[in-house]
Amino acid sequence: MTNKLNHIAIIMDGNARWAAKRNLSTAHGHKQGAEAARKILIGCLKLSIPYLTLYTFSSENWNRNPKEISDLMDLLKFYLKNELSLLIKHNVKVKVIGDRSKLDLDTKTLIKHCEESTKSNNKLTLQIALSYGGREEIIAAQKKLFSDIISDKLKIENLDEEIFEKYLYTAGVPDPDLLIRTSGEQRISNFLLWQNAYTEFYFTKTLWPDFNLSHLKRAIKNYYNRERRYGL
């Protein structure tokens, strides 16, 4: 089986702990985490990784402190506005996956503008998992699928994995080859449940704001030292 690395997914964990260790605000930790994401994106471009998915805000994160949620959304909007030129310059296509119904109109508008402005880019596809949950994604896919079956657009006997995947948020994007989670936690937290069926996992104790290109290369080296069996 091929071990080629096409898609890296990252659970960016540890912003709050990074800030707490330095007696800084959680908002400052998230800001440093956003800078780390920017550096890893540039690193993936240099390493010719064609797909990168970042777990930015989970469906469960809506239960956090309202002030923290507001700070995170403001930070997201800041980067959507200010990094668009960088994304276009580096030929990055942006795709936001998740339930947008809970997002405010300004955020939805910025996302749409960013996606439209980069839709023809093909150096790297950046998937931003925002208001995302793996279980919710599967349920949403099932609802659309059942609707097509009821309206006779799809015959149930024709349903297979390939067709089902077209109903997921990630349609058209290959499954992750490597999932990285920072901060020492060893779980996937409702992230890409369908897509991670045969993904290789890499856990590091490094907190996300400290994660850099050297750490990324270490994870990639670890990946290439494995043999992917896909259940065989």
Give CA–CA dist 180/200, Å, rounded.
Answer: 9
Q: Are 125 and 95 in contact (CB under 8 A)?
A: yes
- The catalytic residue among 3, 6, 61, 121 is 61
Bridge pairing between strands 124-132 and 200-203: unpaired
Q: Please give the sequence-ordered ranges of beta strands (E in DSSP) within 5-98, or none if there are none.
A: 7-11, 51-58, 92-97
Q: Nearest-CA neighbor of 130 among 90, 94, 83, 176?
A: 94
6 catalytically annotated: no
Give the phi and the psi of residue 9 in degrees, each rounded to 5.
-115, 140
Q: Considering only CA atoms, which of 141, 194, 146, 135 is closest in space to residue 167?
A: 141
3 is catalytic: no
Residues annotated catalytic, as ranges: 13, 61
